[in-house]
Structure 1
Amino acid sequence: MVSTGAVPNLAFRRLRGQRSAGEFAAAVRRSAREIGERVACDARYIGRVESGEIRCPNYAYERVFLHMFPGMSLADLGFSPRESVRGRGARATTEIPSPPVFHSEAPVFHNCTDEESDVLRRVFMTSGTTTVLAAASLGLGLGGAPAAGATEPDRHRVGETEVSAVESAVRRIRLLDDRHGGDGLYRDASRPLRAAYALLDSGSAARRSTADRLHAGAGELAISVGWLAHDSGRFEDARSHYAEALATARVAGDAALEAHAFCNASFLARDTGRPRESVRAAEAAQRAARPLGSPRLLALLALREAGGRAGLGDRTGCERAIGRARTAFDRGPCDADPEWMTFFREAELEMLEAQCWSALGDWSRAALHARRAIRLQDPHFTRNLALYRAELAWDLARAGRTEEAATAGHRVLDLLDSVRSSRIRTMLAGTAQALAPRRDADGVRGFLERYAAVSGVSTAAARGVQRPRG
């Protein structure tokens, strides 16, 4: 086991007291809101502080901690002086962004030094030997394997073998997610993500092109793992991973990665009831994407904006964004389309429009688009097919078309043996709740009984369920 030399922060641990790391993280987020900050604090971050991995917080966290503990200094909280952390004096001009903080007009980023970032740095392996272990671990838990013939690289070099391993891990995660959903993959996928950032930390690549690919691969891996967290209901983890990817994009000057990170941040904000933030993130994504020359990417980002505007009840703004999306989509695919957009076909466009009409309460129109999505969907995307059917069941139930809703619900249940997605299960629970008062209608009782047997809960237990907006 390689020692990182970290010294535990016992002072900070004492301040947490009897609260769990998750409870303390929630208190940090509440304190941040009190002073107009927004930090992606979770139990993992608190653990990193207490273990000594984070020796000095970034400026946003510093303001929050000093607000939480009036009269105390960073030293009182157990942190090291900023200028002493990893030779800051020699690199005082090196800055990278913290997680995104959305205010009233546009996304704003707080700056912090390289060693202060709580989202980019994962300094746990630095030697040549551990770099090889990092590359090997990119296949763990995902059925992958390190590239054949890998040898120990020079401590200060990352080459084709390591970068290809990162890129392969991204593709493998996406493939498994398409088939099975995020619930069963998230924890295993976190390991190759840590390994990818260890490679980023371990030294410089031999060529600039290799370094650029490594940054892009690590960022895409962070988004993929963030999506697994998102799909499995771990929203704070998802927010942290998306912020990590965004920081990586800003460091590398990678507009394509930045657009992707903002795209997913917009989706997450919509799903967690922050539609205004969703709109701003989608607009930021579109600004990053315009020079990239991909109409299909702009179409997807316009639909992210439409989803946020639907959440705001802005029907006119939503319709305009959908119109822009369809115009851009009709321009067709091109070589500039990002690799990660393989899921974005006509079926997904129909589904995202269905979600917009659903958010606006136009259930029949939403069901029309959900049916089109199901008809157009490639059966290879099993998780998405289950999602589309869950959307249809949800919309039909609220439109009062109970028998059709029950039939659609049965078809979702048919897929749950192979698909594990908390989002889909939550949507199905909401459908069961909506249908419960009509349990004597044709087909409804059978669906409710089967749903209860599969889910392990009664339909009464689903009362009060808040449907994720995706």
Structure 2
Amino acid sequence: MASSTVTSAQPERPPRPNLAFRRLRGKRSPAEFAAAVRRAAREIGERVSCDARYVGRVEAGEIRCPNYAYERVFLHMFPGRTLTDLGFAPRSSVRGRQARGAGESWEAGEPYKTHDTRDTRDTRTDRDDRDDRDTQDLYETHDNNEESDVLRRAFMTSGATVAAASLGPLGLALDAAAAGRPTRRAGTGEAGALEEAVRRIRLLDDRHGADGLYRRAAAPLRTAYALLDAGASRQATADRLYTGAGELAISVGWLAHDSGRFDDARSHYAEALATARMNGDAGLEAHAFCNMAFLARDAGRPREAVRAAQAAQRAARPLGSDRLMSLLSLREAGGWAGLADRVGCEQALVRAQTFYGRGPSETDPEWMSFYGEAELEGLEAQCWSTLGDWPRAARHARRAADLQDPHFTRNLALYSAELADDLARGGRPDEAAGAGLRVLDLLGEVQSSRIHTMLAGTTRVLLPHRRSPTVSTFLDRHGALPRPA
């Protein structure tokens, strides 16, 4: 494996212009063609930061092979063609290449960033795409990072375990497994450490919320993909690494999701989905689609939420887990509620209850440990709240809060915040303020932008009722909170 991470000393060959790609552009300007690429990406659910400069670099031959996101977009734009037909080199031929030169080298200590990746250099002129200026590419980190696998390989040579160890508790397991090994090929120790890192992130999120964890959890994710790229000594270990890396991507995506970083979350979930499909892992695919449905609902894309939830159910059906199918039905219900389709929502809720009533089984995924009766009630409350049925939403939110294990502080705060908002909007301000005060009591232990956002909405509804002593107390305490970073 060492040879795969060492760059040859051969002189750099001058790039060959990509004439095939230039012919496909036709009479369109580079900016017009870039706009067409972005539109095609949206058609298949991808996001790429394509601009005239990127098109020019492809045509000049500087980009010998696009990253996976661009590959999917180009093949969608030109059906029936292969990358070779488009003038690109086979992906296998560009693995391990060194950065081309000054000004285009990859950052030594951060080769696989998972956040803060907005492209601010887009000079596109297409009027239909002006509101896309902040769209980030789900797979690129900056313009010269065409091959994410090369970046991960570079990360291995720069010391993946150092990045993991720098995170304190979240990195220790991966660091302990990887340190001191004479070979870069991963074994069962690394696979076990990766699985443990996923469990620890989920536990910390359940207890404390996402805001304080997200940036710290990104480095173990880079380490996971570095281990995956290094290869494994056995196929069984490789399968564990793929699943572990995908689950970690989902966990980090959820931290981004819960802390309001929706673009980052979408990127992580897409990475998990790609990992699942590369390894033929139906369970991981169902999990990725499950979270993508939840994110789409929260981001105001209810139709996408419905379709992602339905895709998750198709992937999950052969797995034999009724509890998983119950949760995925709830995700679909949330999408139908966002579309104001009460019938579709009710039908999905009935399926969720029916599946849940069949009980747990040995086929239930480990990541579903959070999904109990409290979560079932809480998600149903969110559906009725979206549909504007505040009394019904409040009943389910109250059950969720009453059923929640108090050790899971974040969920208890979430259900109580949902209850406060439903009561406020349902015309019961004093009860709403009481529930809101219980949430404020928990915020010393919980950092969740989602909960802060919900409380802010509740305060706006309660402002006209300030003369009530309970409401006044809640509003004053809420107003004294430090603003979340």
- Normalised to the residue count of structure 2, the TM-score between the two structures is 0.73
Going from structure 1 to structure 2, the CA distance change for 1:161 and 1:456 (only over 3 Å counts) comes to closer
CA shift digits 1:359-402 (9 cap, x unpaired): 00000100000000011001111111110011001100100100
- Higher mean Cα deviation, 228-237 or 157-166? 157-166
CA shift digits 1:132-167 (9 cap, x unpaired): x43564454251423757554454621011111211
In 1, the alpha carbon distance for the partners of 2:342 and 2:355 equals 20
Q: Which residue, 448, 457, 463 being the options, matches 1:430?
A: 457
1:40 is matched with 47
Q: Does 1:306 align with 2:315?
A: no
Contact between 1:135 and 1:162, CA under 8 Å: does it hold in 2? no
Q: Does 1:82 align with 2:75?
A: no
Contact between 1:354 and 1:365, CA under 8 Å: does it hold in 2? yes
Q: Does 1:451 align with 2:478?
A: yes
2:153 is matched with 125
Give the C-alpha shift of residue 35 in structure 1.
7.5
Going from structure 1 to structure 2, the CA distance change for 1:310 and 1:185 (only over 3 Å counts) comes to same
2:242 is matched with 215
Q: Does 1:417 align with 2:444?
A: yes
Unaligned ranges ≥5, structure 2:
13-33, 75-82, 96-138
Letter in 2 for 1:328: F
Letter in 2 for 1:178: D
Going from structure 1 to structure 2, the CA distance change for 1:63 and 1:337 (only over 3 Å counts) comes to closer
In 2, the alpha carbon distance for the partners of 1:157 and 1:442 equals 64
Contact between 2:41 and 2:48, CA under 8 Å: does it hold in 1? no
Q: Does 1:282 align with 2:309?
A: yes
Could you say what secondary structure the match of 2:290 adopts? helix
Q: Which residue, 184, 195, 208 being the options, matches 2:212?
A: 184
CA shift digits 1:296-351 (9 cap, x unpaired): 00000000000000111111111111111111111111111111001000000000
In 2, the alpha carbon distance for the partners of 1:218 and 1:118 equals 21
In 2, the alpha carbon distance for the partners of 1:176 and 1:201 equals 27
Letter in 2 for 1:124: R
Q: Does 1:167 align with 2:200?
A: no
Contact between 1:347 and 1:377, CA under 8 Å: does it hold in 2? yes
Going from structure 1 to structure 2, the CA distance change for 1:155 and 1:296 (only over 3 Å counts) comes to same
Contact between 2:293 and 2:306, CA under 8 Å: does it hold in 1? yes
Letter in 2 for 1:161: G
Aligned counterparts, 1:17-416, within 5 A: 32-33=38-39, 36-37=42-43, 38-41=45-48, 56-58=65-67, 61=70, 82-83=88-89, 86-87=92-93, 121=149, 123-125=151-153, 133-135=159-161, 137-138=163-164, 140-144=166-170, 145-146=172-173, 152-153=180-181, 155=183, 157-202=185-230, 204-416=231-443
Contact between 2:67 and 2:148, CA under 8 Å: does it hold in 1? no
Letter in 1 for 2:190: E
Give the C-alpha shift of residue 278 in structure 1.
0.2
In 2, the alpha carbon distance for the partners of 1:418 and 1:36 equals 39
CA shift digits 1:35-87 (9 cap, x unpaired): 754433579xx99xx9xx9864348647989xxxxxxxx9xxxxx96216551
Paired-residue identity, %: 61
2:29 is matched with none
CA shift digits 1:85-106 (9 cap, x unpaired): 55169xxxxxxxxxxxxxxxxx
In 1, the alpha carbon distance for the partners of 2:282 and 2:40 equals 33
Give the C-alpha shift of residue 31 in structure 1.
7.3
Letter in 1 for 2:88: R
Contact between 1:119 and 1:243, CA under 8 Å: does it hold in 2? no
Contact between 1:29 and 1:40, CA under 8 Å: does it hold in 2? no
Contact between 2:177 and 2:189, CA under 8 Å: does it hold in 1? no
Contact between 2:326 and 2:352, CA under 8 Å: does it hold in 1? yes
- Normalised to the residue count of structure 1, the TM-score between the two structures is 0.75
Unaligned ranges ≥5, structure 1:
8-27, 66-73, 75-79, 90-111, 458-470
Contact between 1:180 and 1:418, CA under 8 Å: does it hold in 2? yes
In 2, the alpha carbon distance for the partners of 1:420 and 1:380 equals 15
Contact between 1:183 and 1:231, CA under 8 Å: does it hold in 2? yes
Structure with bigger gyration radius: 2
2:130 is matched with none
Contact between 1:128 and 1:153, CA under 8 Å: does it hold in 2? no
Letter in 2 for 1:83: A
In 1, the alpha carbon distance for the partners of 2:456 and 2:427 equals 17
Give the C-alpha shift of residue 293 in structure 1.
1.0
Number of corresponding residues: 390
Contact between 2:333 and 2:348, CA under 8 Å: does it hold in 1? yes
Contact between 2:41 and 2:47, CA under 8 Å: does it hold in 1? no
Letter in 2 for 1:168: E
In 1, the alpha carbon distance for the partners of 2:208 and 2:47 equals 27
Going from structure 1 to structure 2, the CA distance change for 1:277 and 1:366 (only over 3 Å counts) comes to same
